[in-house]
Structure 1
């Protein structure tokens, strides 16, 4: 009986460890997903320069960007912020292009 109990504890430990690993994999996968939309700031860090889709390849590595929700991306475009010519968020969001 003691041996069976010890075996069950060991199996429970393995299951718990695998559940921790799976949770860590899910957190990593969620972090790796790009945001839906990005706004890129000018060098002053305060003025929005352009709007991008979240996975845009044309965002410069040095650029200061912030993830935004759809409504914020639409508002920026309505305020005449330029849309990225590569990923065309204006077209996706229904703005004439």
Structure 2
């Protein structure tokens, strides 16, 4: 092959780039399909049962309220706690009981 018959190196690199872009697009399509499949599986699963009790923490000062799990207070400072922890918190301060779901009544503290 003479120098005139050779494909310029830049053309070869552009060809390689197109092939790799096509492969990348195909891989991204596979990823999207797998994400959709996993989302469909997750949507078919029943949600986990709510915890028995949750604590809603105040801003920098410890627990603010104790709730029964079905009360579902919103916010980032909410966490599940076991029954004995809820009982301990309410024994130490009865004012921590949520006035809507009344965890103190459910625990037999009233």
Decide: shared fold, TM above 0.5: yes
Give the number of the structure whose residues are more often strand, by fraction: 1
Match of 1:37 in 2: 53
TM-score (norm 2): 0.54
Q: Is the 8 A contact 1:41 1:63 kept in 2?
A: no
Which runs of no fewer than 5 residues in structure 2 stay unpaired? 1-40
Which runs of no fewer than 5 residues in structure 1 stay unpaired? 1-23
Whether 1:49 aligns to 2:64 is yes
Whether 1:73 aligns to 2:89 is no
Give the number of the structure whose residues are more often helix, by fraction: 2
Q: Distance in 1 between matches of 2:84 and 2:48?
A: 23
Match of 2:23 in 1: none
- Relative contact order (C-alpha < 8 Å, sep 6+): which is higher? 1
Larger Rg: 2
Q: Distance in 2 between matches of 1:54 and 1:79?
A: 20
Q: Distance in 2 between matches of 1:89 and 1:37?
A: 8
Match of 2:109 in 1: 95
SS at match of 2:71: coil
Q: Give the 4+ runs in structure 1 shifted more than 6 A.
A: none
TM-score (norm 1): 0.60
How many residue pairs match? The answer is: 68
